[in-house]
Amino acid sequence: MKTYRPILFVLSIVLAGVAFFIWSAWKDRLRARDSQQWLSHNNDVIKALDSVQILITSKESAVRGYTITGDYVFIAHLPNYNKIIRSSLEQASRLLADNPQQVVRLQQLRQLLHEKEQFQQLIVHARKVSYDSAMQLTASLKGKNIMDRISVVLEQMKADQQKLLGASIVRNQEAGHQSVQTAIIGALMVLVFIIILLVRLNRDILLRRKAEEELQKSETRYRQFVENAGVITYTADIQGNFTFISQQVKALTGYSPEELLGKHFSVLIPPDWIPKVAEKYRQQFVNRIRETTLIFPIQFKNNGTRWVEQDVILLDKDGRVQGFQCVVKDVTEQELVRQKLQKIEEEQKEYQYRIQAILDNAPLIIYVKDLQGRYLLVNRQFRQIFGLTDEMVIGKTVADIDGKESSTERYIAADRQVIETRKPVELEDVLHLPDGDHHLLTIKFPLFDQDNQLLGVSGFMKDITEMVKSRQDMIAARQKAETAEALQEQFLANMSHEIRTPMNGIIGMTSLLMQTPLQQHQQEYVQMIKQSSDNLLVLINDILDLSKIKAGKISIEKIPFHLEEIIKTLNTAFRIKASEKKLSFSTLLHPAVPHHLTGDPHRLSQILTNLLSNAIKFTEHGYVTLEINVQEQAPRRVVLCFQVSDSGIGIDEKQLPLIFESFSQASSDTTRRFGGTGLGLAITKRLVELQRGSVHVTSKPGVGTTFSISLPFGISTEKEVVHGGEKPAAESHTREDYTGKHVLIVEDNEVNQRVLEYNLQQYNLTVSVVGNGKEAIQWLKKNTTHLVLMDLHMPLMDGFQATDYIRRQLKLTVPIVVLTASVLRNEKQRCLQIGANDYVAKPFAPEELQRCLEKYLLSRKEAVDDQQAVITAEADHPVFDISMLLQINDSKVIGEIYRVFENTVPSGLEELKQLSIKEDWEAVYELAHKLKSSLGIIRVKDLHAKMAAIENNARTQKKLQDVLPMINESIAAYYHVAPMIKMEIDKENVAHR
Ligand code: ADP
């Protein structure tokens, strides 16, 4: 269309030009005709005027001839002249009717002609009379006068006409000029038009020639192709019968043209295809479709099939279809390839459909992106959760879809990480969607093709909103539980303190009271008080034990011990109790049982005590036995079986499963008859299980009961076992004389102050009492003592703070024994950590107190008594080793070395702690190294090894998180042993003195 615009433009201009040309030519013709008319008009006028002049002159001459001659011949035609003059005037007046000036002149002329006529008639009449009178009239010049005036008018008129004629000629000439110009312009336009037409024509001709050439070429090509490719051409009539077939048909079908001529085309087509093919050509015929193409199979004469492509053109003659012109070519190869491709494509589609179905039904958001981050595929969950359609997603990047979402950056970074590392990446995020916040866990992973080339990134997203919610709930619940637990722990500590403190007073005072002279009945009363308070204490201890176990606050120790010692103690205690009830009591320790074990001796004691107490309690006649046997043995481990049997009342079969429940007793009258709370077995069972053991019971009412306990232990060497550390309470000592020794009691409860005071005074000790930690410090600043007994829970300053202050600020190494009514799991640990030497639970047994006094006030005496024994014992000390130092035989040197130790180690450890808090590992490494050397001579258990570990961790920058705890442990260990070491050194000095 565009290319025709200039042509249309030119054409319209040309048309306009031609129109103008025609119009102006027509105008010229009009003008020319006009001026032509004018010309002849003027000529006619002039001719008429001339004729009038000539006739007047002729009339004058005739009148003169008659005047002179008197011959009538001269005037015979006068009437004719007049007639002609009149008609000429008529003509002139007709021609000049539209020229007013000329009309006036014509009027003058008529007047003059009339006068002339009359004068001539006068002359003629006069001549008839006489020649002279006529001559006289002629000579009067009247005639000449009229004649002159006529000539003047006529000349004027002619001159006017001549002028008009001249103008008309000029106009005529102009019109001639104009029409020439118009003709030239018109001719030029026509010329341009013709040139354009010619150019176009030329181009069309060229194009046509080119098209023709191409057609010819393609025809040639086609013909060549047809000839070479073995294309069959044939014609068929409208029924589909062959009317002509080319020779090539034989090669394709096995039939010769002759065999097929006249037959229906369907003979060549497999039966199942015939309807389809026939329908196709019926349609072509009915709808007069000029040309069609169809691919279908044909049959070989001898049973083969080929695929052909058939082009069919309708043959029509005079608008009537005569038949079909067909070209057939073999496309078997292409068709088979195409079918194969189609099958593959269909399979792929099916495959893709299946994958999509799987992806859509997976309970995950799934997507695949290319390396540029454009989505290639997303599943239904993706579309649903994000509220997007395929059109909004496919081919787009995250930034395209939602560049505003703050997490977009993170997602893009994660994609990049997957592409760079070729490893999966996991991230958790919160998406703000219309229906609320969704927590999504995304796992992105790389996709590889067969050649291990990175294809893209795929992602699975799981909506973990529910999970996160329940996780948060769980955290909240745990926090609540922890808070509750902490409260429970606090409550337990308080309860324990509150109950045991007065119990301590009651028991202590009762003991003291019993030692005073009393009357018989008073002694009985006091005895009853003692028994009741003992029972109460057992009950309190049971309840606290159970609560501790239930709260998971009991930790099982793993220390070396002598099994024999425990059995001996139990034997002593229960032999007495059994004999009180006239029962026989025996213990049997099987020879195969190893004597040195590691485990928890206290808990074992407690378990066996429980079982033996019950056995004695529920037996009226007969025996109670304790038998210990090996159940399993390995080189370093052993499982022992403890059997407590009695010949007592036994337990009903139905009750057996219940006896291990808290507060449960076999029969309701048990309490009435035997007392008890039903807690003992519950505690026993739990303690056994805490040690990974098991309890078993067999019983027969009226015959007896056997409790069997299996417990695993480690086997220790004799050397590891601490001697004397845990001396059995029952093993009573003769009371030592501590004359000259001083003990400081730090205790807020006045009753307990008194109990302690009285107790200690029995050992001839001097005692000072202060009410809290602050007072203790004040006291210690001014005085010295040999032992501090420190309560933990006190107002103003508690035992922890006071102990810490004594060790760190006052730098005193005086032994401190903590007395506490608390049962908290780590309290003992804490006491030792801050530098206390020992720990005694309240209410304490007098034996326990005695043990402490022996341990911390007697050692010097023993050292003097048996120097050698002490040295050996200390060399084997499980907590520290100063044997190297003791090899130096100069006590002064030993003292100096110790002072250096005392001055450098605690401050060094403190500095180490600060450095590790600052994470200055280089400095930590150097200082730890230095301290390790200092600790080489006075070896504190573990401290040397700990320094080595700290040094190593700091140097290699590994496990740095362990360093600070190790330093804290080292500090605690130091303060724990420092007083002991000091004591040893002092002893040494005494010995050397
Ligand atoms: P307590 O002895 O304080 O009642 P225990 O938990 O120690 O509580 O024992 C629970 C119950 O099991 C006892 O009340 C008693 O009925 C039964 N029982 C325990 N040991 C024996 C035994 N050796 N002979 C008979 N009955 C026993």
pLDDT at position 311, please? 92
Query: 495 C-alpha vs ligand 1 centroid, how far in Å?
Result: 27
Quote the DSSP letter at residue 786. S
**CATH annotation of 555-720:** 3.30.565.10
Q: What is the 3-state secondary structure (H, E, C) of 487-516?
A: HHHHHHHHHHHHHHHHHHHHHHHHHHHHCC
Q: What is the DSSP string of 521-585?
A: HHHHHHHHHHHHHHHHHHHHHHHHHHHHHHTT------EEEEHHHHHHHHHHHHHHHHHHTT-EE
Helix (H) or strand (E) holding 710, with range, is strand 704-715
DSSP string, 318-343: TTEEEEEEEEEEE-HHHHHHHHHHHH
Would you identify the CATH topology of the domain 742-875?
Rossmann fold (3.40.50)
Q: Give the list of residues 6+ apart from residue 241 with CB closer than 8 angstroms, or none.
A: 262, 263, 264, 265
Atom of ligand 1 nearest to the CA of 677: 3
Q: For 278-308, write each residue's pLDDT tens digit.
A: 999 999 999 989 899 999 999 888 878 889 9
666's tokens = 């076999």
By the 8 A CB rule, do 10 and 199 touch? Answer: no
Ligand 1 atom closest to Cα of residue 707: 23
Instruction: Name the residue type at position 18.
Output: V
In contact, 954 and 921? CB cutoff 8 Å: yes
- CB atoms under 10 Å from CB of 483, counted, come to 10
Q: What is the dihedral of CA 788, 794, 798, 803, to 10 degrees?
A: 0
Answer whether CATH 3.40.390.10 is correct for domain 362-463.
Answer: no
Q: Is the CB of 645 under 6 A from ligand 1?
A: no
Q: Do 362-463 and 231-330 fall under one CATH topology?
A: yes
Q: For residue 873, what pLDDT is reported? A: 34
The whole-number pLDDT of residue 175 equals: 67
pLDDT for the residue numbered 779: 93
CA-nearest residue, atom 19 of ligand 1: 614
Is the CB of residue 616 below 6 angstroms from any atom belonging to ligand 1? no
Ligand 1 pocket residue status of 648, Cβ below 6 Å: yes
pLDDT along the chain (993 residues), means of 10: 59 72 76 76 83 84 84 82 85 84 88 88 86 83 86 87 78 69 68 73 80 73 56 88 87 87 90 92 90 91 86 86 88 87 89 83 88 89 86 87 70 88 87 81 88 88 86 86 74 74 83 85 85 79 76 77 88 87 91 90 90 92 94 91 94 87 67 68 90 93 94 80 42 61 88 82 86 92 91 86 89 87 66 82 76 76 35 45 67 75 84 86 86 74 80 84 82 78 72 53
Residue nearest ligand 1's atom 14 by CA: 665
Name the pairing type of β-strands 704-715 and 766-770: unpaired
Which atom of ligand 1 is nearest the CA belonging to 660? Answer: 6
- Report the predicted TM-score, pTM, of the whole model to 2 decimal places: 0.37
Structural domain spans, the chain: 4-225, 231-330, 362-463, 555-720, 742-875, 880-992
In CATH terms, the fold of domain 880-992 is Four Helix Bundle (Hemerythrin (Met), subunit A) (1.20.120)
Name the residue with the closest Cα to ligand 1, atom 17.
Answer: 666
**pLDDT given at position 176:** 66
Report pLDDT for 872: 33
Pocket flag, ligand 1, residue 649 (CB < 6 Å): yes
Q: Which of 665, 683, 695 to mutate to test the pocket of ligand 1 (most atoms within 8 A of CB)?
A: 665
244 vs 232: CA distance, rounded Å: 10
- Residue 59 CA to ligand 1 center (angstroms) comes to 197
Alpha carbon of 485 to ligand 1 centroid (Å): 31
Sheet holding 787-791, edge to edge: 766-770, 742-746, 787-791, 816-820, 838-841
Confirm or reject: Cβ of 678 under 6 Å from ligand 1: yes
With a 6 Å cutoff on the Cβ, whether 680 touches ligand 1 is yes
* 675 C-alpha to ligand 1 centroid (Å): 10
Looking at residue 76, its pLDDT comes to 81
SS3 content of the chain, % helix, strand, coil (to 5): 60, 15, 25
Task: Give me 167's structure tokens.
Answer: 């103008």
**Short-list 494, 504, 513, 512, CA closest to 534:** 504
pLDDT for 295: 92
Q: Is the dihedral of CA 737, 742, 746, 749 positive or negative?
A: positive
Enter the CATH code of domain 231-330.
Answer: 3.30.450.20
